[in-house]
């Protein structure tokens, strides 16, 4: 069977009809996907919250110098653009805030980020970014999520990468500050505790706390940890940390593509199996939206989840106190309120 | 099929699945696939950080 590839250039804009309909329902789909995990994880974590501090305490801690911050996420651009090389060469002294998914990339380059952020409650995938002490060949055979995707290419060699990451995180854990969600999985929380990371707990807002019977308000009353809008994904949560928690004024994004390079086979996208189940091989073009990035004069494409993240981010950036610079140099995140500039340009002005 | 039709009786009443049941199965499968398309975590419009929700 030949592998389904994205359509040719002149037909790209025609596709994605179903995806555009799905984006409007992503809030509901997300709650269906993670709601039960969020509640179960929160209940399980309650006795563990005495280990570590509240996110509120992070405001009293120095996280990078000055008013600049760079977010490092694990989009497909990081192994094409290599942002850490540029950051290190420029001697950037501001806050380096890494999503858990980019922590391995940082540690491999002997960089301990000033803050790591994690939010996804998934029971066994997210712990992989920390090194999974219980990873087995049997578990790998059941889930090709990491080796299939165009993210951190080192994760294609899964067992070896896991062993290296276990060692790196064990070595540097005590030096790492982590903004840990009260709704993170047991595997992630145990791994964070075992590696000795400095924990700052927070709860993701799961509904409007102003509404009667709000789950978010109930969670606060039970754990007393601040509730933060995670913006649908960990990259947005890391940016929110920089803006609303640390009060940084100039925040650069790297590795936040919210999409795929135009030549990426559909099979290498995050929800390929789900898309295949939904519409079948012949109709895959309907599930992906192709977007022309005018700054890079290049086509990228996205799926309903990433397209939803983009919509959310463009809304959140309107209420931000900081200036936001997208230095990803790839992807689909551009629009009002975002300076789409190169990382070198940001570093020249803010290093 | 016409040869078999009506020339024997079953002990139990057998109800053939109708189109509605088939639709339900398809709808359920589609609904399950849709749920798995969801994002990593919730988003709440117009909110940033709530340091203290006691006053709400």
Q: Output DSSP code: residue B51.
A: S
B45 in contact with chain A, both atoms CB, cutoff 8 A: yes
- Residues comprising chain A, all counted: 351
ipTM confidence score: 0.87
A277 to chain B: closest CA residue: B33
Decide if A232 and B29 are in contact by the 8 Å CB cutoff.
no
- Better-predicted residue by pLDDT, B25 or A44: A44
Give the per-residue pLDDT at A150: 61
Closest CA to A191 of A205, A178, A204: A178
Q: At what angle do helices A83-90 and A343-350 cross, to 10 degrees?
A: 20
B47 in contact with chain A, both atoms CB, cutoff 8 A: yes
Residues of chain A found within 8 Å of residue B49, distances taken between Cβ atoms: 226-229, 240, 244-245
- Alpha-carbon distance B43 to A334, whole Å? 19
Give the per-residue pLDDT at A149: 67
A271 to chain B: closest CA residue: B37
Give the per-residue pLDDT at B6: 53
SS (H, E, C) chain A: CCCCCCCCHHHHHHCCHHHHHHHCCHHHHHHHHHHHHHHHHHHHHHHHCCCCEEHHHHHHCCCCCCCEEEEECCCCCHHHHCHHHHHHHHCCCCEEEEEHHHHHHHHHCCCCCCEEEECCCCCCCHHHHHCCCCCCHHHHHHCCHHHHCCCCHHHHCHHHHHHHHHHHHHHHHHHCEEEEECCCCHHHHHHHHHCCCEEEEEEECCCCCCCCCCHHHHHHHHHCCCEECCCCCHHHHHHHHHHHHCCCCEEEEECCCCCEECCCCHHHCCCHHHHHHHHCHHHHHHHCEEEEECCCCEEEEECHHHHHHHHHHHHHHHHCCCEEEECCCCCCCCCCCEEECCHHHHHHHHC
Interface of A with B in 226-255 (CB under 8 A): 226-234, 236-237, 240, 243-245
Note whether A178 and A106 are within 8 A (CB). no
Note whether A249 and A67 are within 8 A (CB). yes
Instruction: Report pTM.
Output: 0.89
- Alpha-carbon distance A234 to A259, whole Å? 15
- A interface mutation test: which of B44, B45, B50 has the most A CBs within 10 A? B44
Give the per-residue pLDDT at A207: 96
- Residues comprising chain B, all counted: 56
Note whether A58 and A200 are within 8 A (CB). yes
A210 to chain B: closest CA residue: B56
B54–chain A nearest CA distance, Å: 7
A221–chain B nearest CA distance, Å: 7
Decide if A34 and B47 are in contact by the 8 Å CB cutoff.
no
A57 to chain B: closest CA residue: B51
Q: Are strands A227-228 and B49-50 parallel, antiparallel or unpaired?
A: antiparallel
Say if residue B2's pLDDT is above 60. Answer: no
Angle, alpha carbons A41-A45-A47 (nearest 5°): 150
Note whether A148 and A268 are within 8 A (CB). yes
- Residue A37 buriedness (CB in 10 A; 0-12 / 13-18 / 19+): middle
Cβ within 8 Å of residue A14, ≥6 positions away = A7
Say if residue B52's pLDDT is above 80. Answer: yes
Neighbours of A59 (CB within 10 A): 14
Listed as ranges, residues in chain A with pLDDT below 50 are 1-2
Residues of chain A found within 8 Å of residue B38, distances taken between Cβ atoms: 26, 29-34, 305
- Going from the C-alpha of B12 to that of each of A187, B7, B15, the distances in angstroms are 51, 16, 10
Give the per-residue pLDDT at A162: 92
Say if residue B25's pLDDT is above 80. Answer: no
Closest CA to A324 of A345, A307, A341: A341
Give the per-residue pLDDT at B15: 60
Decide if B41 and A30 are in contact by the 8 Å CB cutoff.
yes
Neighbours of A67 (CB within 10 A): 16
Give the per-residue pLDDT at B1: 47
Residues of chain B found within 8 Å of residue A129, distances taken between Cβ atoms: none
Q: Which tokens in the block code for residue A25?
A: 């329902």
A54 in contact with chain B, both atoms CB, cutoff 8 A: no
Decide if B48 and A228 are in contact by the 8 Å CB cutoff.
yes
Positive or negative torsion for Cα A207, A211, A215, A218: positive
Q: Between A33, A243, A244, which is nearest B38 by CB?
A: A33
Note whether A288 and A13 are within 8 A (CB). no
Q: At what angle do helices A186-194 and A26-45 cross, to 10 degrees?
A: 50
């Amino acid at each position: 069977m030949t592998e389904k590839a994205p359509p040719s250039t002149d037909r790209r804009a025609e596709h994605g009809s179903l995806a555009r309909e799905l984006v409007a329902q992503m809030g509901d789909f997300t709650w269906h996907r993670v709601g039960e995990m969020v509640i179960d994880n929160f209940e399980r974590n309650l006795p563990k919250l005495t280990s570590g501090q509240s996110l509120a305490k992070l405001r009293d801690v120095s996280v990078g110098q000055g008013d600049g911050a760079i977010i490092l996420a694990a989009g497909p651009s990081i192994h094409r653009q290599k942002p850490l090389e540029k950051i290190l060469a420029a001697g950037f002294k501001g806050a380096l805030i890494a999503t858990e998914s980019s922590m391995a990339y940082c540690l491999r380059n002997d960089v301990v980020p000033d803050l790591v952020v994690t939010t996804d409650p998934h029971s066994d995938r997210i712990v992989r970014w920390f090194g999974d002490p219980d990873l087995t060949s049997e578990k790998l055979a059941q889930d090709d999520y990491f080796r299939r995707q165009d993210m951190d290419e080192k994760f294609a060699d899964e067992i070896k990468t896991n062993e290296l990451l276990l060692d790196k995180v064990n070595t540097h854990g005590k030096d790492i500050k982590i903004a840990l969600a009260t709704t993170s999985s047991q595997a992630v929380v145990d791994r964070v505790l075992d590696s000795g990371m400095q924990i700052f707990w927070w709860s993701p807002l799961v509904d409007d706390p102003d509404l009667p019977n709000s789950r978010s308000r109930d969670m606060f009353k039970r754990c007393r940890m601040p509730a933060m809008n995670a913006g649908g994904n960990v990259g947005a949560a890391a940016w929110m940390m920089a803006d609303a928690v640390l009060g940084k004024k100039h925040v650069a994004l790297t590795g936040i593509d919210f999409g795929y390079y135009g030549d990426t086979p559909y099979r290498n996208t995050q929800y390929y199996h789900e898309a295949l189940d939904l519409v079948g091989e012949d109709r895959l073009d309907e599930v992906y939206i192709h977007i022309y990035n005018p700054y890079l004069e290049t086509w990228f494409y996205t799926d309903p989840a990433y397209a939803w993240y983009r919509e959310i981010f463009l809304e959140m950036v309107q209420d931000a106190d900081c200036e936001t610079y997208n230095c990803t140099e790839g992807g689909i995140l551009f629009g009002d309120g975002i300076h789409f500039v190169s990382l070198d340009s940001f570093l020249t002005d803010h290093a | 099929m016409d040869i078999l039709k009506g020339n024997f009786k079953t002990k139990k009443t057998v109800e053939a699945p109708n189109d509605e049941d088939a639709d339900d199965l398809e709808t359920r499968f589609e609904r399950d696939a849709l749920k798995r398309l969801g994002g990593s975590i919730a988003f709440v419009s117009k909110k940033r950080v709530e340091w203290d929700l006691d006053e709400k």
